[in-house]
Chains A and B, each alone.
Chain A
Amino acid sequence: MRVAVIGVQGDVEEHVIAVKKTLKKLGIDGEVVATRRAGVVSESDAVIIPGGESTTISKLIFSDGIADEIIELAESGKPVMGTCAGLILLSKYGDEQVIKTDTRLLGLLNVRVKRNAFGRQRESFQVELDVKHIGRFDAVFIRAPAIVEVGKNVEVLARFEEYVVAAQENNILGLAFHPELTDDTRIHEYFLRLNEF
């Protein structure tokens, strides 16, 4: 199994390390590649879009053709996960910040996201969440977005305050927080198992 982490900007290395640990834990023979170029995603079995700045990552993946490869991979049923900025990019609809900055989205997850939903960095927080299929999870929110509307066929995995903060639509998984920043690999395990469907 080959897992690609979109490596144009953000906490790429943290996802690479988390996937390595997860592959080992699950006993899967596989590799993980961070990529900044076109041609790698289409050769992979799963793809992760990390945290970072959604405005920056969007510009770079759309100008380099990586975006089309992610869409194609998702449409073929392969698992795709986005965390924080990655969730924004996976979403179908954005908020006024997304519109104001002309940020192009991949539109793979039928939800509407709100950027910086909880405020600025000083309002960033850690909290233990109940995540469906996973259990209690120490979630780190950093200038995090949130899901404000959920479309048909989207399963809500976790909520916090008035928002949805984790959601899944078949093979697409979007999280407002950063499982890659803690040592807990359960979400990455759940994600890689989506490949079995």
Chain B
Amino acid sequence: MKVNLEELKFGTELIKRGFAKMQKGGVIMDVTNAEQAAIAEEAGAVAVMALHKVPADIRSAGGVARMADPKKIQEIIDAVTIPVMAKCRIGHIAEARALEALGVDMIDESEVLTPADVFFHIDKRKFVVPFVCGARSLGEAVRRIWEGAAMIRTKGEAGTGNVVEAVKHMRLINRAIDELRRLPEERIYDVAEKYASRYAELTSAVKGDMGLGEVGRNDVVFEEYTLGEIIDGIYKVLLEIREIGRLPVVNFAAGGVATPADAALMMQLGADGVFVGSGIFKSSNPPEYARAIVEAVQHYDEPEVVAEVSKGLGEAMKGLDVFKLSEEERLQTRGV
């Protein structure tokens, strides 16, 4: 069949969201080298997240956390046949472009790394490669979806091995969706205005400083978009959520999932799949641990299977008490 190249479409919303849908029911594992990537693939991971350090080590190392060394990412890409994801800093368009050029299959614009922009996330629609972003609330999720994210994940509190924050974020998002479904249609626009107000912060600060008054609907506030266009876009996303009763993109659990039972819990709360960060390669027996988490996700509603795969797994990662973390130590507050 002769095909005119112009008829070929790349990077459409359907293709990006479609890629994320292929990950459903799966476990995406953080890996820091080719050997770990091979263990993850062998255990049945649907994808790997290529990192320089796992979140627990990023946390203890301190300093500025950046995109991983492209050489390392390339080695991981070469080691496995499943998709490879990698993280860029929030708002760091240049890191994201570099990852896209490397051939990374999905970019995680992640709060686990040190944010590069305090005002904005990346305008993800301008990329061919799909993005996943973290969210603690429906507002954060909706803003990321409007920006073009093809997948949402809970932020949780990465590198702690403590599932409490991931549960909290999943509950907050689910509860907000219920609230939205009960809301009369005429009130939805108010929610959209509230959610969109975050995009006006930069312009508002500048105009305030210059004594130029309030931000209006016709002010261009982010990339080429006016505040009015953003509100209308977010309104559309909210209407869709209200109609289908869930996020219009895949929603994974992340940030503190450490054991097979943690993974099963997040699936029971409605997650479409699970990211496991430090949990696997900080445990005492990574291959067994990885396999057990894959099994637990597949059989999340069969307690006897979760019990069976959890037997004699050895030490889970040690973990941290999230409530003892100071505000600066909490990664989840980055990028709203």
Q: Which residues of A contact B (CB under 8 A)?
A: 7-14, 36, 51-53, 55-56, 59-60, 84-85, 97, 100-101, 115-116, 120-130, 140, 142-143, 158-161, 178, 181-182
Contacts and interface: CB of A to CB of B under 8 A. Distances in A.
Interface string B285-304: 00000000010001100000
A44 to B, nearest CB: 20
Contacts of B41: 55, 101
Interface of B: 1, 3, 7-12, 14-15, 18-19, 21-26, 41-42, 44-47, 81-83, 100, 103, 105-106, 128-130, 294, 298-299
Nearest to A60: B298
A53 B26 contact: yes
Contacts of A84: 22
26 contacts: A8-B298, A9-B298, A10-B25, A10-B26, A11-B24, A14-B21, A36-B299, A52-B25, A53-B46, A53-B83, A55-B41, A56-B294, A120-B103, A125-B8, A125-B9, A126-B14, A126-B15, A127-B3, A127-B7, A127-B9, A142-B15, A143-B19, A143-B105, A159-B1, A160-B3, A181-B21
B44 A56 contact: yes
Contact of A9 (B9, B46, B100): B46
A10 B8 contact: no
Nearest to B302: A37
A182 to B, nearest CB: 7
A126 B3 CA distance: 12
B10 A55 contact: no
Contacts of A12: 24-25
Contacts of A127: 3, 7-9
Given A36-B299, A116-B81, A182 B14 contact: yes
A75 to B, nearest CB: 26
A123 B130 CA distance: 12
Given A120-B105, A127-B9, 14 more contacts: A9-B46, A12-B25, A56-B46, A101-B41, A121-B129, A122-B10, A122-B128, A123-B10, A126-B8, A126-B9, A127-B7, A140-B14, A142-B19, A158-B1
Contacts of B19: 121, 124, 142-143
Sorted from nearest, which 5 A-B pairs have the closest CB atoms?
A121-B105, A9-B25, A11-B21, A126-B9, A53-B46
Given A101-B81, A121-B129, A11 B22 contact: yes
A55 B21 CA distance: 16
Contacts of B24: 9-13, 52
Nearest to A96: B81
Contacts of B15: 124-126, 140, 142
Contacts of B12: 126
Contacts of B45: 56
Nearest to B47: A53
Given A122-B128, A159-B1, A85 B18 contact: no
A181 B14 contact: yes
A30 to B, nearest CB: 24
B18 A142 contact: yes
B81 A128 contact: no
Nearest to B15: A124
Contacts of A128: 7
Given A55-B44, A59-B44, A129-B1, A124 B25 contact: no
Nearest to A9: B25
Contact of B25 (A8, A160, A161): A8
A148 to B, nearest CB: 16
Contacts of A97: 81
A97 B23 CA distance: 19
A161 B3 contact: yes
A111 to B, nearest CB: 18
A181 B17 CA distance: 9
A56 B41 CA distance: 8
A146 B81 CA distance: 15
B252 to A, nearest CB: 13
A48 to B, nearest CB: 15
